[in-house]
Each structure stands twice: as structure tokens, then as C-alpha cells.
Amino acid sequence: MIERSGYTASELLAVMSARLLMDGQCVFAGVGIPLLAATLAQRLHGPGLTILFEGGVLGPFVVPGELPPSTNEQRCTKRANMLLSITDVLLLLQRGYVDVGFMGGAQIDQYGNLNSSFIGDPDAPAIRLPGTGGGNDISSLTQMIVAMKHEKRRFVEKVDFVTSPGYLEGTTHRRDSGLVSGGMYRVVTDLAILAFDGVTKRMKVETLHPGVTAEQVRDNTGFDIWIDPEAKTTEPPSANELAVLNELDPDRLYTA
């Protein structure tokens, strides 16, 4: 159990994810932590950040306290630059206009492959999940940020199904398979920020969150993950970051 003072695990995920986004980027974001993080980044350091929703909305203004529960909800369209069809949204990806993809998943493996399709035997799955949506397109064509809870059942050596490709089997396998752009950029969890080795493309720890030890990360990871003995500690959420987050989500729809 990680002892935190003044913020929840969800607030930590949102703040750490927001810090990874830069002004001027176009971000394909889903609801939940991705939307909250993108909106937080806009308010704090990226006024020129453009949010893109799978439902066809480009550049919306997300009203504080009125976070949409779905990317197809009308609150997503307020003051938007454009309203497009889903086909046109995916064409923007294919044309290279989207910089960052941002989503989660039920499972992720050591090479950043995501599973949101099913858990268990494909012929008789123990759990059926929502499936890909635009997840495959997003992960195939953008730099990906993934936000998820750090648990051994989620961080597995090999996902049960590759819904959204990371680096596939590592090294040059992604590029060799025809995915010449994009890739996994960072994975943000409630324990650490994870990056990928430049050669092997295996997941590694970049920084540990306050109060987290290397042993706790290993205990909650289903594969051998490399951790630098000198790994730095992530700067904790500031009072200002948490205040803006609370303004955006006062009812704690996403941050409870």
C-alpha cells in the first residue's frame, strides 16, 4: 500500500500524464484520465494543444465541471473547431496530423502491446472486453501514452491478444511489420513512469513516484522489468496542478 498525502492515485495519473503533453501537439484522447490529462495540460502549459475525439470532434473546449462521459456526448462539441465523421478522424491519423495517442487497456506487455479485447482462451474467453474501437489505428500511427493502474494481472509478459500494437516482439519488429511511424512513448502508472529501451524496445522504469520502491514495482509487474538503481523520484503533483484538476473535475467523476 502506497501512502500518499493530498492526492489520489487517479489524480497522480492525470497530473503525470499531463506533464508529458506539449503545447502545439494534436492529441487523440479517450474519456477518463486521458481527457482529464489533456485538458489539464491545456490549462497549465499547452494552450495550443488540440484535443481530438474518436467521435469526430476536433479542438473542443471542455467546460470545467462538465466533463463528458463519452466521446460521442454533445458536451464534447462545445466551441469545437470541426465536427467530422469517424472515417475522417481516422484519415487525419493516416495523414500524419495527430502527434500523440492517449488511452488505457486491460493488459500491457513488456513491449507495450495493449489488449482490450478479451482475457483468456480466445475460443472460450474468461472475460470479454470492449474491443478495439480506433485503438489499433491510434497505436499504429502515433506516439502513444498509456495510463493505467500498475498490477501484475495487467502488466503481463505476453498479452492474450494484441488489440493495439506497441513494439510487437521488440527490436525492429514493429517497423519490419510495416508500422513505420509511431510507437509507445510512455506508460504512466500509479507507481512509476515507464519508458522503452531504444534498442530492445522492452519496458523500463524511468522514474519512481514518491514513496514507491523498486521492489514494489517488481512485485506488481508480471515480467522482469529493468530498474536503474539510481532511478529518480517523480516530482509530486503541485498544489496548483491539483487545484486546476479539482476545478476541472469538482464532482470527482474521473479522480475519485
| pLDDT above 80 (res 231) | yes
From the list 125, 105, 124, the residue with the least C-alpha distance to 116 is 105
Region 126-148 average pLDDT: 92
> How does the average pLDDT of the chain come out, rounded?
92
For 68-85, write each residue's pLDDT tens digit: 887 777 777 888 889 888
pLDDT at residue 96 greater than cutoff 80? yes
Whole-number Cα distances in Å, 118 to 65, 85, 122, 132 = 33, 28, 7, 10
The pLDDT of residue 2 is 62
- Contact (CB, 8 A) for 105 and 163: yes
Domain boundaries, the chain: 9-248
Q: Which residue numbers are catalytic?
A: 54
Q: Which fold has domain 9-248?
A: Glutaconate Coenzyme A-transferase (3.40.1080)
Q: What is the mean pLDDT of residues 233-238?
A: 96
Q: Mapped to the 3 state alphabet, what secondary structure does 75-118 carry? A: HHHCCCCEECCHHHHHHHHHCCCCCEEEECCCEECCCCCEECCE
CA–CA gap between residue 223 and residue 221 (Å, rounded)? 6
Q: In which residue are the cell numbers 474491443 written? A: 131
| Phi, then psi, of 198 in degrees rounded to 5 | -65, -25
**In the structure grid, which three cell numbers stand for residue 61, read together?**
473546449
Residue 229: pLDDT band with limits 50, 70, 90: confident
178 burial (CB, 10 Å; 0-12 / 13-18 / 19+) is: exposed
Which pTM value belongs to this model? Answer: 0.93
